[in-house]
Chains A and B, each alone.
Chain A
Amino acid sequence: MRNFDYVAPTSLAEAVQAFGQAGGRARALAGGTDIIDQIRIGRRTPELLIDTKRVPEMMVLEDDGAGGLRIGAGVPLSRVRDHASVRAAYPALATAAGLVGAIQIQNRATLGGNVGNAAPSGDTIPPLMVLDATVVIAGPRGTREEPVANVFAGPGQLTIQPDECLVEFRVPAPRANTSSYYVRFIPRAEMDIAVVGVGVSMMLNGGGQVEDVSIALASVAPTPVAATAAQDVLRGQTLTRELAREAGERAEEATSPISDVRGSADYRRELTKVLTRRAVAACAGQLGVSLS
């Protein structure tokens, strides 16, 4: 592996200074499961790795005081996967955290890494998007908070500046009568990258109609994308099998898939329809509404 420098700041101020001074020649080292391999094969060539695991703000995993959750960008996915309030309030995120790689990977890999690596297939990204999560971004010009959905520029590319870093994710308090679900298709049981992934968050009103719904897709476009046409089909309606099927059909409009070793563009479009229908039905099931 080519050489590089390494620093392990112990405060956010130190980390911001390190990213600022490096001016884009640095990458964050959280779990390392993507960046170390990328350096080894020459895909990324940072001159400096900045270890985020000793920065307290990047390692928080706690209630935000308003019923929501703060998840540091450097917290291992196994802690997210096993966290009682993630499992109870954000099931889509708990599921996705338990799907990334194997146990050894989940013990290292992080939300900051999954988002920062910006793979269109990142399993935790659709759940973060449909849960309306934001990410705190720090840099030499100050700290700001962006919806997770806004930070993706293309495969492997974020909209944040090269001298900025991801600090923590904030997931708002779950609303009443709301649930979420994530499903992906891979050709085997474990240890693969999503051919297509679908996240759904849905809120029902007292009359059983869809009060609000959010759907996001992985692996079907250069970035993870919201399936807005599918959302529009569902909103305000009473859930039926036919409506879930129609949402699936309309989800395809958000896709612009490529053909690659994991599947053809046509296959991804078809999977998007099927998985969206199933995810809507499963999410409804979690809310006590059976579409079978």
Chain B
Amino acid sequence: MMSNRKLVQFTVNGNPVEVAIAPRQTLLEVIRDEVDLTGAKEGCSNGNCGSCTVEVDGVTINSCCALGVEMEGRTINTIEGLAPGLDLHPIQQAFMENGGLQCGICTPGFILSTDHLLKMIPNPSEEEIRLYLAGNLCRCTGYDKIVRSVQAAASAMSS
């Protein structure tokens, strides 16, 4: 039953969009399947793994646990909008240089959570990094290199 779709307007990475959304469609499904941005990933589908992390009105959320129809008038940023064009954001650069990823499925979520952390705490301690990234799970790299990547990003962005 997709008959009860509603027209919803919001911005994604600065671009206004208007999408016909059924209430049952999660924000993640809307971003991937209607807006065609596939950086946010579906992992656990229940708010544990953080692979679907996006920013809505300035804060990170799990897009698998939000509905597309809730987004009327909201401002959404995804990994695709973090750096313009082919440039890399300093956080992306730091993850690359410090081996903060292997398969890459979790990486967009980790990078957006790092961005949120560094906006709140520009020079976080290791404990703060591990706390703020507790909602992002990685099954291959392990967390030490991710923590080092975040520290390198914090250092690059504050210098």
0/1 per residue, B119-154, Cβ < 8 Å to A?
000000000001110111000000000000000000
How many residues on A have C-beta within 8 angstroms of the other chain's C-beta atoms? 29
- CB contacts (< 8 Å) of A36 on chain B: these are 26, 64-67
Contact of A101 among B2, B23, B47 (CB under 8 A): B47
B100 to chain A, nearest CB (A): 18
- CB contacts (< 8 Å) of A76 on chain B: these are 59
Instruction: Please judge, given known A-B contacts A191-B48, A191-B134, whether A104 and B62 are in contact too, CB under 8 Å.
Output: yes
- CB–CB B61/A104 < 8 A: yes
- CB–CB B23/A108 < 8 A: no
- CB–CB A4/B24 < 8 A: yes
0/1 per residue, B1-42, Cβ < 8 Å to A?
110101000000000000000111010000000000000000
A-B contacts counted at CB < 8 A amount to: 90
- CB–CB B60/A103 < 8 A: yes
- CB–CB B4/A108 < 8 A: no
Residue of A nearest to B21 (CB): A6
**A5–B24 CA distance with the chains assembled, in angstroms:** 8
- CB–CB B24/A3 < 8 A: yes
- CB–CB B70/A1 < 8 A: no
- CB–CB B47/A37 < 8 A: yes
Give residues 47-101 of B contacting A (CB, 8 Å). 47-48, 50, 53, 59-62, 64-67, 69-70, 72
**A104–B2 CA distance with the chains assembled, in angstroms:** 29
Instruction: Please judge, given known A-B contacts A5-B23, A189-B134, A191-B134, whether A105 and B6 are in contact too, CB under 8 Å.
Output: no
B129 to chain A, nearest CB (A): 12
**A103–B22 CA distance with the chains assembled, in angstroms:** 27
- CB–CB A49/B23 < 8 A: yes
- CB–CB A6/B67 < 8 A: yes
- CB–CB B23/A40 < 8 A: no
- CB contacts (< 8 Å) of A8 on chain B: these are 69-70, 72
Per CB-CB distance, the 10 closest pairs between chain A and chain B, nearest first, are A102-B135, A190-B134, A6-B23, A107-B59, A3-B1, A3-B24, A1-B24, A104-B62, A37-B46, A33-B65
Ordered by A's residue number, 7 sampled pairs between the chains whose C-beta atoms are within 8 Å are A6-B67, A32-B67, A36-B65, A37-B65, A104-B113, A190-B131, A191-B135
20 new A-B pairs (CB below 8 Å) besides A6-B4, A51-B70, A104-B53? Answer: A1-B26, A3-B1, A3-B22, A3-B24, A5-B4, A6-B67, A32-B65, A33-B62, A33-B65, A36-B26, A36-B65, A37-B65, A78-B59, A102-B50, A102-B136, A103-B116, A103-B117, A103-B132, A103-B134, A105-B65
